[in-house]
Structure 1
Amino acid sequence: MGRMAHIRTEPDDDRLLKEPKFVSSFLIPDNEDQEDNKVYFFFTEKALEAETVHAIYSRVGRVCANDMGGQRMLVNKWTTFLKTRLICSVPGMNGIDTHFDELEDIFLLQTRDNKNPVIFGLFNTTSNIFRGYAICVYHMASIRAAFNGPYAHKEGPEYHWSVYEGKVPYPRPGSCASKVNGGLYGSTKDYPDEAIRFARSHPLMYQPIRPVHKRPVLVKTDGKYKLKQIAVDRVEAEDGQYDVLFIGTDNGIVLKVITIYNQETESMEEVILEELQVFKVPVPVISMEISSKRQQIYVGAESAVAQLKFHQCDMYGTACADCCLARDPYCAWDGISCSRYYPTGTQAKRSFQTIKGDVLDKTEERLVYGIEYNSTLLECIPRTLQAKVIWFVQRAHEARKEEVKTDDRVLKVDLGLLFLRLHRMDAGTYFCQTVEHSIIHTIRKITLEVVEEERVDDMFNKDYEEDHVSQKMPCPVQSSIPHGSRPWYKEFLQLIGYSNFQRVEEYCEKVWCTDKKRKKLKMSPSKWKYANPQEKKARIKPDHYRVPRHTADS
């Protein structure tokens, strides 16, 4: 430490620190004079000035980097220590705010001006009513204004905390021994006793530090997970500048989020771009570091470190609409695919106007068969997490569509529409539509045909009785089966009707008859037959009322 002494706070002075929990510290210069550099501490502590007993406040503390303690008072103790409250709250009715008081993590986003980084704070609430998290953003101008403002003062135990209106000694308590402060004092050891005595009795500033827009940029109260770490990358997109938030949770998930401030409504819009399970075992994320140069984020747990890309533009598909609706500031439509956006590139503008000219009727069509009383999933996953999914169904011989009503038997899940117990009346054509920013897109059309349970049993019984020895297989294995035989799966044509013969044959051929499966079936054809009818019934019947494993577990 060279000529620097070992300095600390007074251990028994609750006015300086009251059971603190430190989170982060940074050296942030105020100007070009290095002797005026200050170190900022971010922590939580029990607040003496709070009306509620044992209330927890988040704080910003500050000391001069060249503080050497006093000569006669505060020897080897901080003489420049000041602190103030760091507020992150949601404005409420009648002026009553919902405060997020416990600081979890701090991220310093460096800008071109190293004296004015942007500070992101991750908070949780200490409320007994609900559990929630918030992210607030602070400018250094607000922090400096609070430390240059009035001191907090309290005369006695019966008095409330108020603004100190008396004489403030020189040099101003909390200021550094530097040229910009007059250069009259070579170090804090030269400070007058009056200035040191005042600093010792008035460490708290009266003015708190409020966030940008006077509200959080993000609030999470859904209770899905606890937010633990935050890292931020600032990116230049076609339609402006974005701060991309990477948030680590207690179960190994990393969220990639942007927030957009609406000036007209004075509200924040949250857009979750990605939700990644980073570690196989759901362990807490304890550290996050980013490299803007490498476009990577490094996520640390107790037993592992993971490396993630900032962007995966190709996952948004090959349609311009999907690329634009994703709203990922790293990505843009280049005329062919969704790719990394570069400010000097030639990609199309990443705005919703480009969607109007895009072809939104590129609907994927599928044919699905389900057996009566079994469970069936109609898969449909939107490309963006913020899209709302609505299901419509068109019954046979009906011209109009109607919205699918969910209940205990029919569920909307993340992967699509789940029928826990399929009924005959469920047959029809299902349309999976996504709605995002008033833009409706039918992304999948699924024709569901329900095979009656009795006809499945009859088919297997007939199959067994006709030929117990032939060991039919689902696919013809080149010349090993006589030309007069037909594949096993064509028995299902009887269940559906010969009007759909061509479509079903093509469907089954695609599902069963691949070269890989032919080879596998040639080696073990007997797996497609039951040894006897009793074994067949024992193995089929219990499965009629099965519940998918992931549904049962949840």
Structure 2
Amino acid sequence: MKRFLFSLFWLVGHLQPALSAGLKDTPTLGSKNTPRLLSKDISVGLEYQINQNHSVLFYEEGSDELYLGGNDFILKLNVDDFHVIEKFHLNATGQEECQEDPCENVITVIEKFQNNLFVCGTNGQKPECWQLRPSVNNQSLEIFDSRDGTGISPFISTQNSLSLTVEGDLYAAAPLDADGSTLQFRRQAGHRTNVWMYDSWVSEPTFVSASWVQRKDDPDNEKIYVFFREKNSDHNREADPLISRIARVCKVDEGGSKRFFQNMWTSFLKARLVCGIPKESLYFNRLQDVYVMHADNWQDTRVYALFTSNWNSTAVCIYTIKMIENIFENSKFKGYNDNVPTPRPGTCSTNSKALPRHTVNIVKDHSEMADWVDSDPFYISTNNYTKIVVDRVQAADQRFYNILLLATDSGKIHKVLESGSEPFIISETQLSNSSIIQSMKLDSKKKTLIVGSAERITAVNLQSCQEYSKSCEECVLARDPYCAWTNNGCTSTVPGSIQNIVDGKTNVCSLTVKEPRNRTKREIPPLSSVHLRTVHSVPQGVPFYLSCPIDSYHAEYTWEQKGQKSPCLQMLTNCLHLIPSMSQEKYGTYRCISEEKDYIKVVGTYELIENQDPKKCSKSNTPDNWNAAPALIPEMTWITLLVAIISF
């Protein structure tokens, strides 16, 4: 026992200098609730000279140019290599009225509005907007118009706001007062009449997103959908203080008549947006972010909503516009029990000023639906996700698959496959910085995700397939619609390439792969098919450990020696086998074996031989020059290793 304890502390003492990161964020091996692969960050980007506490992006899909707004400036960037085309300074002009430092102009809105770049900023706590256009020689931007930005930009960047442009009209939500109060969603500028909200419709809202859903065959019935959280009027101790909402207004709404509800929405309706499992009393009540995936048929448009809970979990729920509209068109009005008039409250009218007063009165006093828009969570996670976008990808089988791209609060991007009712977490990419991601823009045409944080702006290549290129099986197991096996390895998907997105089983590889495929699922490949063995020369009586790399966190890893199997002791990127004290029966061949679905492979083969003369040891890993030094595993803290050895 004393010899074992001496060996234990000897091993820990020799490992301690090289050990650094802990196991806090280590995925659990064999679990389908963690990313299959920890992906390398090979993104391109631009580091800011000064960190930006608030930044906004404007990017049109397929464009070569990207606009970035920060403190007192706008950058025009080339999206392919992120070199700066132009830096346009917009310093605060309202500094004399600024009551607090810093009195800066934080850019909060960048939109394309009436064929020009429309920019708004805090302007030293006196919000202002500017329209920018190219100069005469088209080499730089210039201001040609400005206007009061109250209600479009917040007074300070930490206040809630959002903006949306629709057919030359600007919709926005931002505080009307410097203290951040009187927050409304309004039509602020453009061809149509400016329209406001009625104050009692919302209670201390936090607006999350707004989206226009087109109906090409029926444009007069098009709606603007608004997603927000608001204060709960139910003060029960067990009730969540916030309620998530979806509201809608008609694009053609011009407000009421001069006598009643002039310049107020006549079509505003709202409903509770619920994400949870009622049978288990499990609810995610706080809406964090929304991505709307538009479809050719407007009813099939999908709303991906990201929610958090009181117990530090997040969930994604998926709704369709059809199910949302079903509530708005058929639900009773909360608190209203009389007959519903015709036209039904909330109906779109090209002459909203002529709507019957009774119809508008119900909108005024009973705008909330009695029924809820609810959905079971598609994906539940303990990760603290903050942003979501969703891409639609055509795979080699010509079918389309949706990929959720989720940002964590520590600068990671999770790529999640939506296939059937179960999510599949393809990979996790840790960006070069670990701060919270402020904004994400998807370019589905270029298969690029543009990510903004306080330190930098980054373009992530979604077709990064080289990490699956070890074999056809590795490529197929990834279940990544962006990637497929071809004669050139695992590359971006092309027709006729090899994939199995539905279940990831690798038998599809047998049709083209030349090596024999005669083993069954439980058979381990023979030694002859394995790469060159690693040899270690180790004295008797000393502790020793072996490690092999983890290629997939969805696989199960075991160690085999002389027909005996032992489990893997998991590290962050390695699988460990501990030998407390070397003895004669511990020498021989060890194989690290992974098993995932229908695929078994030998990850590494290691030969331990007895070292009878440590002074003559060499540091080579070849059979002619034995290596007596155990390999170190830098992902483990010495405390964790001590616990692991004691457990072993």
Q: TM over 0.5: same fold? A: yes
Map 1:193-342; keep pairs closer than 5 Å: 193-211=357-375, 215-221=376-382, 225-239=383-397, 240-261=399-420, 268-279=421-432, 281-335=433-487, 337-342=489-494
Counterpart selection for 2:202 from 17, 22, 37: 17
In the TM superposition, 1:49-128 aligns within 5 A as 52-70=238-256, 71-90=258-277, 95-113=279-297, 116-126=300-310
Q: Report if the CA contact (8 A) 2:230-2:242 is conserved.
A: yes
Query: Aligned residue for 1:412?
Result: 570
Cα distance, 1:200 vs structure 2? 1.1
Tell me which amino acid in the other structure corresponds to 1:276. T
Residue 420 of structure 1 contacts residue 547 of structure 1 at CA under 8 Å; is this kept in 2? no
Work out whether 1:148 is the aligned partner of 2:329: yes
**Which residue of 609, 617, 624 corresponds with 1:492?**
617
**What is the DSSP-based 3-state SS (H/G/I as helix, E as strand, rest coil) of the residue aligned with 1:167?**
coil
Partner of 1:378: 547
Residues 547 and 319 of structure 1: is their aligned pair in 2 closer, same or farther, counting only changes over 3 Å? Answer: closer
Matched, 1:174 2:346: yes
- The aligned counterpart of 2:229 is 44
Query: Structure 1, residues 158-178: CA drift from partner, whole Å, max 9, x if none?
Result: xxxxxx542112322111223
Which structure features the higher share of helix residues? 1
Conserved 8 A contact 2:411-2:437 = yes
Alignment of 1:123-142 (within 5 A): 123-126=307-310, 130-142=311-323
8 Å CA contact 2:547, 2:631 repeated in 1: no
User: What does 1:532-547 correspond to in 2, within 5 Å?
Assistant: none
Q: Does the 8 Å CA contact 1:29/1:115 hold for their aligned counterparts?
A: no
Q: Deviations over 1:46-94 (max 9, x none)?
A: 3336964454222111112233332333333322210011221135xxx
Whole-angstrom CA distance in 2 between matches of 1:38 and 1:450 = 77
Amino acid at match of 1:309: N
Select the residue among 187, 190, 210 that pairs with 2:354: 190
Partners of 1:216 and 1:319 lie apart in 2 by 35
Given that 1:318 and 1:336 are in contact with CA atoms closer than 8 Å, whether structure 2 keeps it comes out as no
Give the number of equivalent residue pairs.
428
Amino acid at match of 2:604: R
For residues 579 and 591 of structure 2, the distance between their equivalents in structure 1, rounded to whole angstroms, comes to 20
- Contact 2:345/2:363 (<8 A) preserved: yes
Change (3 A) 1:153 1:241: same
Q: CA contact under 8 A between 2:617 and 2:625: conserved in structure 1?
A: no
Shift of 1:250: 0.6
**Shift in alpha-carbon separation, 1:548–1:328, aligned structure 2, 3 A:** closer
Equivalent residue number for residue 7 of structure 2:
none
State the match for 1:551 in structure 2: 637
Counterparts in 2 of 1:376 and 1:44: CA distance versus 1, 3 Å:
same
Give the drift of 1:325. Answer: 1.3
Q: What is the CA distance between 1:144 and its match in structure 2?
A: 1.0
Contact 2:534 2:621 in 1 (8 A): no
Query: Match of 2:536, as an amino acid?
Result: Y
Selected match of 1:435 from 552, 570, 595: 595
CA distance in 2, matches of 1:256, 1:349: 17
How far residue 421 of structure 1 moved from its aligned partner, in angstroms, is 7.7
Provide the rounded CA distance (Å) in 1 between the counterparts of 2:269 and 2:214: 16
Match of 2:498 among 340, 343, 348: 348
**Alpha-carbon deviation of 1:503?**
5.2
CA contact (8 A) 1:427 1:448 kept: yes
Q: Does structure 2 retain, via aligned residues, the 8 Å contact 1:331–1:341? A: yes
What corresponds to 2:63 in structure 1? none
Render the CA deviation track for 1:208-247: whole Å, top value 9, x for unaligned.
Answer: 2233xxx2221113xxx41011111111223432111111
**Deviation of 1:134 (Å):** 1.0
Change beyond 3 A, Cα 1:53–1:448: same
- 3-state SS of the aligned residue for 1:286? strand
**Structure 1 letter corresponding to 2:274:** I
Residue in structure 1 matched with residue 62 of structure 2 by the alignment: none
- CA separation in 2, counterparts of 1:220 and 1:502? 42
Q: 1:50 to 1:60 in 2, by over 3 A?
A: farther
2:533 corresponds to: 366
Evaluate the alpha carbon distance shift between residue 368 and residue 87 of structure 1 in structure 2; reply closer, same or farther with a 3 A threshold. farther
Secondary structure at 1:144's aligned position in 2?
helix
Cα pair 1:421 1:545 within 8 Å, conserved: no
Preserved CA contact (<8 Å) 2:465 2:490: yes
The question of whether the paired residues in 1 share the 8 Å contact of 2:198 and 2:264 is answered with: yes
Contact 1:247 1:256 in 2 (8 A): yes
Residue aligning to 1:483: none
Which amino acid is 1:412 matched to? Q
Cα distance in 1 for residues equivalent to 2:451 and 2:638: 32
Aligned to 1:6: 194
The one-letter code of the counterpart of 1:108 is V
Does the residue aligned with 1:87 lie in a helix, a strand or coil?
A: strand
Matched residues in 2 for 1:63 and 1:450: separation?
79
Change beyond 3 A, Cα 1:375–1:79: farther
Name which structure has the greater RCO, CA cutoff 8 Å, separation 6+. Answer: 2
Query: Could you report, residue by residue, the CA deviation over 1:435-472 in whole angstroms, capped at 9, with x for unpaired residues?
Result: 222433223222244758xx54xx2xxxxxxxxxxxxx
> Which SS does the other structure have where 1:40 is aligned?
strand
On the 8 A contact 1:26/1:41 being kept in 2, the answer is yes
Q: 1:544 to 1:416 in 2, by over 3 A?
A: closer
Q: Which amino acid aligns with 1:120?
A: Y
> Helix, strand or coil: the match of 2:605?
strand
Compute the displacement of 1:414 (Å).
2.8
Distance 1:363 1:209, change over 3 A: farther
Give the direction of change, closer, same or farther, for the CA distance of 1:31–1:330 in structure 2 (3 Å limit): closer
Unaligned runs of at least 5 residues, structure 2: 1-188, 518-524, 641-648
Q: Secondary structure at the match of 1:73?
A: coil
With over 3 angstroms needed to count, the CA separation of the structure-2 counterparts of 1:547 and 1:365, relative to structure 1, is closer
- Bigger-Rg structure (1/2): 1
Query: Which segments of 5 or more consecutive residues in structure 1 lack a partner in the other structure?
Result: 155-163, 179-185, 262-267, 460-490, 496-500, 512-542
Instruction: Say whether the 8 Å CA contact 1:370–1:376 is kept in structure 2.
Output: no
Paired amino acid for 1:293: K
Higher strand share: 2
Could you list the per-position Cα deviations for residues 400-451 of structure 1 after superposition, in whole angstroms to 9, with x for gaps in the alignment? 22224x6xxxx32132234678531454433222222243322322224475
Is the contact made by 1:18 and 1:45 (CA closer than 8 Å) also made in structure 2? Answer: yes
Distance 1:136 1:549, change over 3 A: closer
- 1:424 matched to 2:608: no
Contact kept in structure 2, 1:390 and 1:403, CA below 8 Å: no
